[in-house]
Amino acid sequence: MTEKLLNYLGGQWQSGADDGAVLSDPVTGQSLVRVASSGMDLKAGFAFARESAGPALRAMSYAQRAALLTTAVKILQSNRDRYYEIATANSGTVKNDSAVDIDGGIYTLSTYAKIGEKLGEQKFLLDGEAARLGKEPLFQSQHVLVPRHGVALFINAFNFPSWGLWEKAAPALLSGVPVIVKPATSTAWLTHQMVKDVVDAKIFPPGALSIVCGGSAGLLDALAPFDVISFTGSADTAEKIRTHPAVAKHSVRVNIEADSVNSALLMPDAVPGSEAFDLLIKEAAREMTQKSGQKCTAIRRIFVPRAHYNAAAEALGARLAKTTVGNPRNETVRMGALVNREQFTTVTNGIAQLQAHITTLFDGRKTALVDADPSVACCVGPVLLGTENPESVSIVHEVEVFGPVATLMAYETPERATALIRRGEGSLVCSVYGADNTTLAAAAIDLASSHGRIHVISPEVGVQHTGHGNVMPQSLHGGPGRAGGGEELGGLRALHFYHQRSAIQASSNILEKLTA
């Protein structure tokens, strides 16, 4: 029988009581490891994190906790080769796609270590300047941000087992809040190995970083006042979390990142053959194929002027045709597999659902897989769909196929394009391509109200931009409406979720002690 991974909770490694779920290689079907979480005393584990790890973390300054993050970065970097092996086996990703997850997670952790180092030896943050409460300046109000006295529960998605952990854990640990992570079962191995390496190195106080692999039953019941929960996944699960009795009763602070039908917009000045046009084609193809399209930030809708529709369809199809799909262990393969058979079925059905209403412009599923058995491997070639009448086809703005799939759409005017983009009802990111700085700036502001991030690409940043779907720790990650209404990262802003804002009303002499 395959190895069963242990859970780390309450400052000790524990085994789930049942045989658990088997994690498999999505290309070969080989069984890898098992995960199980039943039978553990979750409430006791949460209490240990609150009562032991929490005070130990809060006793340190931001700079001291930042030093712990730096040490964790070194441990993770020293084990990168092992993480890449696990990602290939458990997620079916090619090396470049594994890097987005693994190196992206480590980079985010190191970024917050640097942020904490700059905060120095203070143990709380000032929020704005003091404001006088009367005619005389003696009695004033000063807002402060202090670390919350609870735990941070993370329930993560399957597509980023490394980055999904560290983009949440980095600001939480820097804030002095202990972390309990529940990774998605299907790809939990990488998250588990990273947590194990850091725990075994004894960097953080016992219980500061915990992991529960397997089922999620009972996790929300263990939440208490002052705890926070951050979830990445479906809107249906997000609704269950928001309405859970423990969350409602204790006013648990919740951050949600849900599904999102993200867009790319080509401005009218970006004619076929122009640099801006080519940048759109390159980025759209990359977003469709990177991690087999299994990214919450991936481009799902591509809006181009009607006059450029056929040229865009031809150029994008030609670029996608160069994508070799199959076993990520083969050096000629550029796109690996979906994470499991369930996702393969879901994506295949989603494509069929869209094809019933719009045109298929390119279907990479007709090309043979490389070093992979199509009856076993969860591989899907890139599929480009299209419609010249997106205003009359509601489904393209409502259904997200979480794989290497996107829909090309024609628009008449920039104003109509913006209106169509907003039919996504809130997204994580929209990228805009063009060469006229004035119209690009106006489009960015116009689209900002319905997106967490606007990625503006003009020829001058064609080489330097970080990518439509790459979430950088310096910028906000999240979005309104359908995208969940949450906010993560954004530099120092990420720490606010793990702090309590309070107004201290006192004499200016006392408030000076705070600023000192």
End-to-end Cα distance, the chain: 60
| Contact present, 359 and 118 (Cβ < 8 Å) | no
Distance CA 339, CA 322 (A): 22
- Rounded to 5°, angle at Cα 56 from 51 and 60: 145
Sign (positive/negative) of CA torsion 15, 168, 465, 78?
Answer: negative
301, 280 in Cβ contact below 8 A? no
Looking at residue 51, the DSSP 8-state letter turns out to be I
Distance of CA 481 to the CA centre of its chain: 16
Spatial separation of the C-alpha atoms in residues 93 and 99, rounded to whole Å: 9
Distance in angstroms (rounded) separating the CA atoms of residues 97 and 348: 22
Cβ atoms within 10 A of the Cβ of 98, count? 25
How far is C-alpha 145 from the chain's CA centre?
25
Quick check: 444 and 421 in contact, CB under 8 A?
no
> Which of helix, strand or coil describes residue 176?
coil
Both structure tokens of 202: 């004894």
Does residue 301 come out as left (phi exceeding 0), alpha (psi in the -120 to 50 range) or beta? beta
Distance of CA 264 to the CA centre of its chain: 19
Q: Give the whole-angstrom CA distance, residue 479 versus residue 453.
A: 8
Token code pair at residue 312 = 């865009």
3-state SS assignment for residue 254:
strand
Q: Which amino acid type is present at position 72? A: A
3-state class (DSSP) for residue 181: strand
The total number of residues shown for the chain amounts to 516
Cα 161 from Cα 196, distance rounded (Å): 14
How would you class 245 by CB atoms within 10 Å of its CB: exposed for 0-12, middle for 13-18, buried for 19 or more? exposed
Active site residues: 257, 296
Q: Exposure of 343 by Cβ count < 10 A (0-12 exposed, 13-18 middle, 19+ buried)?
A: buried
Q: Tokens at residue 427, please?
A: 């997204």
